[in-house]
Structure 1
Amino acid sequence: MRHHRLAAVSAALLLTGGAAGSATAAAPAGPARPAAASAEVPAGVSAGVAVFDRQTGAFTEQLNTSTRFRSASVVKVLIALDHLWGLDHAVPDSDRAWLEPMLRASDDGAASAYWSDRGGAAIITRMVDRLGLRDTAPPPGGYEGYWGYTALSARDTVTIYRYLLDSAPSPVRDFVLGNLRQSTRCATDGFDQHFGIAGAFEKPWALKQGWSGSSYEKGTCGPPRTAATARTRSAGPAAATDVDLTRPALHSTGTVGVGDRSIVAVFTLHPVGTPYGKAYTDIGRLVRSLNVPGASRPAGWRFGTWSDHVNVRPGPGTGNAPITQLPAGVEVLVGCQARGEVVNVPPYTNEWWAYLPQYDGWISNIYVNSPDNKMPDVKDC
């Protein structure tokens, strides 16, 4: 049967901008798009973007590169580099126990411990001086203990990664990048952190993501957890006062391609109240529009989804425990589709399932914004 999902159309409209009752508006334009020539920023989103091609030594994308954003968890790269500064031997096991989850799974408890132990804002002061950062600044007055309120720009983020790749001692470079290459889909606070770069490009990549905002309080994969942020009161230079601390932030930074050819820094702010799935989709569309030399783009078709936290299964049926759950209303890449277990979500019924290669799992087509049970143009598995 056809399923336009009128009961859930409001969630779909957040994604597609279509009219109520119009399933056509949610259908994809075709296979995943190739590289574009310039950044395409979704409506309502504020962005700072920089893409640096290490092979040519030139930027391929620059948009608001000096604009300061609150860093969220991207600052954890600076926290790690400060702690490891000058290290010329293997990272001790005692540090690995804290640094690995901080870099791979964006663990907040580890960041807070280092922030407290190493002087809070003094970490940022030291790293600004060491790396010659131009826009980076400690959290503003009254928020000294909130490491995620550190001011950071796209161009400074490129500078940080260039130092890491080209100048850092090899034990530091190998350790930090090695962990960023092992970024986990589920962060320790329960968020699906494989948005932006991870969703737009195939490996190899190395990631440090960031998210901050009241709209993102509910976890999207794994058991949601809340980690308290230490509130130390550390002295430091004058903090930035031009950083937006209100709108939800979602950032994707790292390296892409063989040999870490491109450095990508994308910082975004979204309207207050934006659901996580909508912000996740918007930063994905922005990153996919970028000219990123060396990037490999996955094949498939992109569709919107509806419903809250759709289960991703290891096969086209509900017999096995879910691998994870999708952020509510997020856009997904579909590799192919196949018949499987019949799923009933009254008044809808559907036996077709979509394979999501980036999750290595399946969701029922009943949760896909498509005019028919079987998605148009998508190949059979």
Structure 2
Amino acid sequence: MLRFARNSPASARRTPRRLLAATVALLSLSFAGTALPHSVAAAVEPSGALPVTAASPQVPAGVTAGVAVFDRQTGTFTEQLAPAATFRSASVVKLLIALDFLWNRSPDTIPSADRTRLDVMLRSSQDAAASHYWSTYGGPAIVARMVTRLGLADTAPPPAGYEGYWGYTAMSARDTVKTYRHILESAPAPVRDFVMQRLRQSTRCASDSFDQHFGIAAAFDRPWAVKQGWSGRYAQGTCGPASAAAARGAGTAAAVPAGAGGAGGASVDLSRPALHTTGTVGAGDRSIVAVLTLHPDGTSYGKAYTDLGRLTRSLNVPGGTAPAGKWYGTWGQDVAVRTGPVVGDNLVTRLPAGVEVLVGCQRKGQLVSVPPYSNDWWAYLPQYGGYVTNIYLSHPDNQLPDVPLCTSQK
């Protein structure tokens, strides 16, 4: 929803929507690459960080989910929703690829080239590294070996005809939990430490410029460790200061090849966009969390990010702490996040279109004008380390009513 300055004339409030097109050029002067929303009819209601002791998973409409949360302190599951349902794993299978390579090897003795590959594969989800191990060590045989070694019940190699697509490996939430339990409780200490250290150092921008700090990484304060997965033709899933035009089309790793539709003869859906968040939360890796999701065809990254985030925040995750702040929806494409509450050569990143963000505090800064709209309030986004003008937050007032003032110069 567009917001009006307090002194905006009543006539401005009745500005026909078709006149919004005239503001695009003005928008680009201060926020290069941004675009007006397709609809500005209603604001997305802010949703404060949900408590981590919610009664049951809250699955947004249209989302198919498999969920498992295991409390290692009590040895019990605190959440299970279709835990045996299989999903195409996307990059979550990189855990199995890494474990297979390290099965009879110590990270301390492997060649430096392999340490580098494993590092970027686990931290930044590099596809080229996964493809190297997949092609070198037997492809589907990697999955078959790990199924036997870990006693996985629902995991299976890619279906016939798609053997080269490691991301089409079938996995379930409960098998994902079992994989993490192996890493933490059964793997040799050097392997455990090597893998978990890299998952704790997950980069916001993946190797393909996809913003991978969704789900667990956004829903909980550190300590956490994550291995995320995404598959599908998401629009605007990119991150970093690079222009959206240069990065457009990113986030399609392991995307559906031409001619693949439906389940492709497999027990997993190969077509709907997938977004998975898996990892550990809390001191001592207390809780293992696996949330595997599919979204309707055509879902934008911002919508999938938001829906997965709301689902993850609704879970009972022992040891997890919700970050301070309030969640607000955004509108606009490639909205700039800046180091300070001013427009200039201070770009941190650009927000994926329509993504929900955590607002930590707000302060006055440079007046931003998009006639007939103007606002001098800026919101600080702690998870991005920068400011966004309140114009692009889905609330009708210039100043957010439930967000404190920033008390320090961030």
Fold in common (TM above 0.5): yes
Distance 2:81 2:178 in 1: 16
Distance 2:233 2:107 in 1: 41
Distance 1:126 1:167 in 2: 16
One-letter identity of the residue aligned with 2:291 = V
1:338 aligned to which of 348, 356, 363: 363
Identity score, percent:
63
Cα offset for 1:343? 1.4
1:253-292 correspondence to structure 2 within 5 Å: 253-292=278-317
SS state at 1:214 partner: coil
Distance 1:214 1:128 in 2: 29
One-letter identity of the residue aligned with 2:171 = L
1:197-236 correspondence to structure 2 within 5 Å: 197-216=216-235, 219-221=238-240, 223=242, 224=247
1:58-73 correspondence to structure 2 within 5 Å: 58-73=76-91
Q: Could you say which residue in structure 1 is the equivalent of 2:149? A: 130
> What is the aligned-residue RMSD (CA, Å)?
2.3
Q: Could you say which residue in structure 2 is the equivalent of 1:40? A: 58
Task: Give unmatched runs, 5+ long, in structure 1.
Answer: 14-19, 230-238
Q: Could you say which residue in structure 2 is the equivalent of 1:21? A: 41
One-letter identity of the residue aligned with 1:33 = L
Check 1:226–1:371 CA distance in 2 against 1; reply closer, same or farther (3 A cut). closer
Cα offset for 1:349? 1.3
Distance 1:218 1:48 in 2: 22
Distance 1:195 1:12 in 2: 24
SS state at 1:129 partner: helix
One-letter identity of the residue aligned with 1:21 = A
- Is contact 1:253–1:265 with CA below 8 Å preserved after alignment? yes
Check 1:179–1:371 CA distance in 2 against 1; reply closer, same or farther (3 A cut). same
For 1:326-381, what per-residue CA distance to the aligned partner results, in whole angstroms no more than 9, with x for missing partners? Answer: 11110001011000111123332111100011111111111111111111221111
Task: Give yes or no for the alignment of 1:194 onto 2:213.
Answer: yes
Cα offset for 1:11? 4.4
Q: Could you say which residue in structure 2 is the equivalent of 1:17? A: none
Q: Could you say which residue in structure 1 is the equivalent of 2:387? A: 362
Task: Give yes or no for the alignment of 1:312 onto 2:337.
Answer: yes
Equivalences, count: 364
Distance 2:173 2:289 in 1: 8
Distance 1:27 1:371 in 2: 10
Cα offset for 1:220? 3.7
- Is contact 2:231–2:253 with CA below 8 Å preserved after alignment? no
SS state at 1:375 partner: coil
TM-score by length of 1: 0.90
- Is contact 1:211–1:249 with CA below 8 Å preserved after alignment? yes
Cα offset for 1:12? 8.0
- Is contact 1:180–1:208 with CA below 8 Å preserved after alignment? yes
Cα offset for 1:69? 0.2
Cα offset for 1:310? 1.1
Cα offset for 1:21? 3.1
Structure ID, larger Rg: 2
- Is contact 2:71–2:78 with CA below 8 Å preserved after alignment? yes
Cα offset for 1:312? 1.1
One-letter identity of the residue aligned with 1:61 = E
One-letter identity of the residue aligned with 1:337 = Q
Cα offset for 1:218? 5.6
- Is contact 1:109–1:228 with CA below 8 Å preserved after alignment? no
Distance 1:123 1:22 in 2: 49
1:86 aligned to which of 104, 108, 112: 104
